[in-house]
Amino acid sequence: MIYCLLLLSLCSKAQGSYYCLSFADYLIDNWQPLDTLQMERRTDGDKFWNGGASIKPTTGNKQMDKVLKKEARLIRHRDSLYINCSELTCRGQRFGAWYAPAFVYERDYFLFIANNYKSMRRVNAMSFSFGLIGAAVTSATTKNDYLCYVFNPSTETVEPVDKKMMARLLKDRPDLLEQLSKIASKQRYSPEVILPILKELGLVEMGQAKE
């Protein structure tokens, strides 16, 4: 019943802009309205030099912009959902500031799209070992290297949607697992491949947002 009410509420807010200060607020539908909001897509260069996720929210109000950057955890803008990555880590790798496109996943979790955590490690290692030139070379080879991640707000943990997770999710769908195995390894776990499969399984609902 609570889940149904949340879906109805999200649908009713589809044309506005709102934020939640906590995931507990999200669960009780405690969204705060925003008068104006722009979701700016950050360039690859900006993400490389300054780190962080793909989307930067701006309101024209410095105080509110600071709240969105430092305190808010979720933003709903029109028909899309975004999650603040500033406090999120995956296997020891921080995602950095700003927001990533997100989806409601299996009702109690969030799925979001962000840079491949392994690529971020390579860039950091190259920057440390060989300076900015080496890091720039690595960054160029990993451009547009994104993965889907599942975030559990109860435990504050993030797991990549990788080979192990997909094998578990598709254990009763050998047809889909076979189709997945035929895709080139570099693209196999990209959001473009994974999201349609998760939708087919009925795991991804609402909050659709474009990378």
> How far apart (Å, rounded) are the C-alpha atoms in residues 199 and 12?
22
Residue ranges of the domains in the chain? 2-205
Which residues are paired to 16 by β-bridges?
Answer: none
List of residues 6+ apart from 69 with CB closer than 8 A: 57, 84, 86, 97, 98
pLDDT of 8: 41
Q: What sign for the dihedral angle of Cα 63, 69, 71, 72?
A: positive
pTM of the full predicted structure? 0.79
> How far apart (Å, rounded) are the C-alpha atoms in residues 20 and 25?
6
Q: Show the DSSP H helices in the chain as ranges.
A: 2-12, 23-27, 44-50, 62-70, 117-141, 163-169, 174-181, 191-200
pLDDT of 132: 43
pLDDT of 210: 39
For each successive 10 residues of the chain (211 residues), what is the average pLDDT? Answer: 41 72 93 95 63 84 96 94 94 89 91 81 42 40 73 95 96 95 92 93 66 40
> How far apart (Å, rounded) are the C-alpha atoms in residues 11 and 13?
5
pLDDT of 97: 87
Residue of 35, 37, 24, 36 lying closest to 156 (CA atoms)? 24
